[in-house]
Amino acid sequence: MRIRAILYVPALVLLSLALGVFAQPLRSLGATKASAENQSVSGKIASVGDAEFTVAVANDKDKQHTQNVEFFVDDKTRVEGKLAVGANALVEYRSDSGRNIAVHIVVTPAAGASFMSKPAIHVD
């Protein structure tokens, strides 16, 4: 009987510790997953710079008022079309340290825009 008690008590203690460790949530995994989710907006391109551009996005409630949203382009950004002021753009982006980093951009020319206009940025 004493031998069983000597074997069962340490086994129960180890089992309790193991269950306690595995019961804790993985905080770093949850934070990474939340920050990795992409968002998207669409609107007219208001300005284009060397490594950034601005899109005028219409408010959901009042379509007459727009909000300018700035996006940064990096070497991982995929661009379909040519970034030019006045063109329509659908931008998929991620937030990184308070900056909107464009992940994928689909640009369509504005109605009546000339296809000969010079693009400010072209990323292949």
- pLDDT (tens digit per residue) in 47-76: 999 999 999 998 777 677 889 999 999 999
- pLDDT (tens digit per residue) in 15-29: 776 766 666 665 544
pTM: 0.60
- In this prediction, residue 21 carries a pLDDT of 63
First to last CA, the chain: 76
